[in-house]
Amino acid sequence: MTPEQAMLLSDDEKLAYFYRVRVKHPRVTTVRDDLETMMLPGSGTDIALLIGPTGAGKTTLGESLVEEIIKAHKSELVNDLSFIPAIYISAPASGEKRFSWRIFYIELGRLLKEPLMDKKQETRLQDGRMSVKSVTAGSTVAGLRMAIEDALRFRRTLLVVVDEVVHLIRGANENDRLVHMDALKALTELKGVNLTLALIGSYDLYELMTLSGQFARRCAIVHFQRYLSGTGNDADKKAFRNSLGTLQEYFPLKGIPDLTEMSDELQYACVGCVGILKDTLQRMLTFAVRNKGRWTDKCLFKALLTEGQIARILEETLKGEQNIAKAIFGSGSLNAESRTSEKVACR
C-alpha cells in the first residue's frame, strides 16, 4: 500500500498502517551484518548479545532477522514442512521473583509446534530401561526441557532470538544468573543441533559477560548504538535526518510540515534512537487522528518525551556505552592480554 492509498483508510487503519512501517538505516544494516556473520557455521560464536539503549530498534531488528532467515530457506520449507529455521521469543515476566522456565519452555514449545506441552515428563534410563519419573500432575520443568531439546533437533532450528533477556537476570543473584545462562548455552551444545542464540536487551546484559570465562569465550556483544549528535558526528546526524524523512514519507496524513527541518531538536528529544522517533511519530499521528485529522503543532509537542524521561534514558545510555566500550564485537586488540595481565598484577 502506498502512502497515498493509506490517506483513504479509516483512522484505526491509518494507525495500524504506520505502526507496521519499518525503516532501514545504517545502524540496522551494520548490526544485522554482524549478527549474520556470527551465525555462519564454524564462526566460534554460539551466543550473540544484542545490546543497546531503549528505543534503538533492537526488537524490530530481531523480528526482521527471523523473517529474513525464514525467507532465505523458503525452498527448504516447501520440501520439508517440519523445518523451522528461526523463531523469535520474548523472555516472560511471570510476576514472580524468580524467572519462570516453565512458562519460557511452554512458549518455546508452542513456537516449535511441539504438541502436548502440558504432558511432558522427565524420562530416565536405568539398567537399560526407560522409565518416567513419577509426578502428581502436569509437565515437569525437566520434562519440558527434554521436549524442547528434541524439538530443536527435529525442527533443525538455526536461530532462536530471545528478547527482553533482562527478565532472566533482574532480581537474580550471581549464582542464579550463571545457572540461567548455562541453561541457555546448553541449547547451543546439543548433539545434532546447529543453533545460534541471539539475546536482546539493554546494557544490563553486559553483566552476563562477567559471569564466567567459559561463557565469555562463546559469546560476543553486538552494540546497537544510537545516533550521536554534536560536533564531529555529521554522518550520524545525516543518518537520523534521513530516517526521519523516510518515516514522514509514509505518514498517512496531509498538512504535516517538513519535520526534517527540526531534525536536530528531534534527535535530542529521541536520544538519537530511531525506535523512540518512530514511537513519537506514532503518538503524533494518534493525536492528529483524534483531532479529526487536522495537524497542529500541539500534536508533536504532546507526543514528545518529557525532559525527565529524556534525562533518565540518556543517563542509562551513557553509562552503558561506557561499560561496553571495550567489549563490543570488533573492538578486540592484540595487546588486550598484556594489558589485562598488567592490571591483574597491580591489584
What does 257-312 look like in DSSP terms, one character per residue? Answer: --GGGGHHHHHHHTTT-HHHHHHHHHHHHHHHHHTTT---HHHHHHHSPPHHHHHH
pLDDT at 342: 43
Domain(s) labelled CATH 3.40.50.300 in the chain stretch across 39-114+148-223
Structure confidence at residue 207 as a pLDDT band (50, 70, 90):
confident
Looking up cell 553486538 gives 222
* 7-16, 56-65, 93-102, 205-214: segment of lowest average pLDDT: 205-214
pLDDT at residue 54, rounded to an integer: 92
CATH of 39-114+148-223 given 3.40.50.150, 3.40.50.300, 1.20.900.10, 3.30.2320.30 = 3.40.50.300
CA dist 271 and 286 (Å) reads 22
Residues with Cβ within 8 Å of residue 320, at least 6 apart in sequence: 51, 53, 202, 203, 206
Res. 243: pLDDT tops 80: yes
Q: 44 falls in which pLDDT band (50, 70, 90)?
A: confident
Torsion from C-alpha of 209, 144, 115, 94, nearest 10 degrees = -70
Q: How confident is the model at residue 174 (pLDDT cuts 50, 70, 90)?
A: confident
In this predicted structure, the answer to whether residue 59 has a pLDDT above a threshold of 50 is: yes
pLDDT band for position 43 (cuts 50, 70, 90): confident
Q: What is the mean pLDDT of residues 105-132?
A: 74
Confidence tier at 346 by pLDDT (50, 70, 90): very low
The per-residue pLDDT of the chain, averaged, comes to 85
Cα–Cα dist 94/86, whole Å: 24
Interval 297-316 mean pLDDT: 94
128 pLDDT exceeds 80? no
Residue bearing the bigger pLDDT, 279 or 126: 279
Distance from the Cα of residue 268 to its chain's centroid: 23
DSSP E strand boundaries for the chain: 47-51, 86-90, 123-126, 129-132, 159-163, 196-201, 219-223
